[in-house]
């Protein structure tokens, strides 16, 4: 049945986040801190690998040597657009709203108010980090397309990987990780529903551009998690769509 892969993916993320939240209560602040740093390092490596892979794939298309220019151009223009729209500010407001909800529903929070999972900023980090990890990459696009066309096998594999990642992320980042199911539903569900209509638009160049730019944003999230440098990743999100549009038009 079309869409079953998306449903399973959402289910495994929610289950993984729930497990992470429960076990997060049992972990002391000292272990939370080192786990937070380790996850940040892992996210940096994952982001770099996705970006390099996407650039390599983009270089194999008609864009050739201009692949890096697509990455730079999309990031700059997308960041300017995001800054104009104040996306980061909107995410911070959303995080404060989530924080209020977490205080009213203790089951959603990993522990005391002074722990990372309770802070509005970290709730935003959990939401954005998980959303980027779960919604960027070839498996997201191709898996959703195949699911819409009746073959959910690739999304089943992605669901397993996402569920495991959700456990690790929710342990340190809290309930915001579970909210990543919203963009999963919108993006993957939308692709699955419109599979027949948009399949011609999802070219290898488009997938490569999404991977390259999405990977760069994931790397930026990792820098923040590792306490190296915080970048306004929320304001950079339009770059993914701009890069995909450029690749579709030129690639």
pTM of the model: 0.75
Exposure on the CB side of residue 32, measured as CA atoms within 13 A: 23
86-to-130, 135, 215, 219, 234 alpha-carbon distances in Å = 21, 22, 22, 21, 8
Encoding tokens for residue 61?
A: 């298309």
Residue 155 near residue 8 (C-beta atoms within 8 A):
yes
DSSP count for the chain of H helices, then E strands: 12, 0
Q: How far is CA 127 from the centre of its chain?
A: 8
Domain segments of the chain as ranges: 4-250
- Tens-digit pLDDT profile for residues 200-250: 888 899 989 988 998 898 898 888 878 898 888 888 989 988 999 999 998
Kindly write down the DSSP assignment for every residue of 193-215, as one continuous string. Answer: HTHHHHGGG--HHHHHHHHHHHH
- Tens-digit pLDDT profile for residues 33-67: 787 788 888 889 988 998 999 999 999 988 888 89
Query: Distance between CA 238 and CA 81 in Å, rounded?
Result: 7
117-to-12, 112, 140, 157 alpha-carbon distances in Å = 20, 9, 27, 28
Query: Distance between CA 99 and CA 92 in Å, rounded?
Result: 10
- Tens-digit pLDDT profile for residues 114-131: 444 344 556 777 888 888
pLDDT of residue 62: 84
Neighbours of 142 (CB within 10 A): 16
Residue 208 near residue 61 (C-beta atoms within 8 A):
yes
Q: Which residue has the tokens 């490596």?
A: 45
């Amino acid at each position: 049945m079309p869409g079953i892969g998306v449903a399973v993916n959402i289910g495994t993320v929610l289950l993984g986040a729930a497990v992470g939240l429960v076990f997060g209560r049992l972990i002391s602040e000292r272990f939370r801190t080192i786990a937070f740093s380790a996850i940040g390092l892992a996210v940096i490596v994952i982001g770099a690998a996705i970006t390099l892979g996407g650039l390599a794939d983009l270089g194999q298309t008609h864009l050739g040597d201009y692949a890096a220019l697509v990455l730079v151009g999309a990031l700059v223009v997308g960041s300017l657009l995001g800054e104009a729209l104040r996306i980061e500010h909107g995410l911070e407001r959303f995080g404060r709203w989530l924080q209020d909800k977490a205080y009213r529903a203790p089951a959603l929070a990993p522990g005391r108010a002074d722990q990372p999972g309770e802070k509005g900023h970290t709730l935003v980090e959990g939401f954005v980090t998980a959303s980027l990890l779960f919604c960027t990459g070839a498996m997201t696009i191709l898996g959703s397309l195949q699911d819409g066309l009746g073959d959910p096998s690739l999304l089943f594999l992605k669901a397993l990987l996402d569920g495991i990642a959700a456990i690790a992320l929710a342990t340190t980042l809290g309930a915001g990780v579970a909210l990543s199911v919203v963009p999963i539903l919108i993006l993957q569900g939308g692709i699955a529903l419109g599979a027949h209509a948009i399949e011609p638009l999802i070219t290898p160049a488009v997938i490569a551009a999404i991977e390259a730019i999405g990977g760069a944003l994931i790397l930026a999230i990792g820098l923040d998690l590792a306490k190296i440098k915080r970048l306004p990743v929320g304001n950079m999100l339009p770059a993914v769509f701009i890069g995909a549009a450029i690749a579709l038009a030129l690639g």
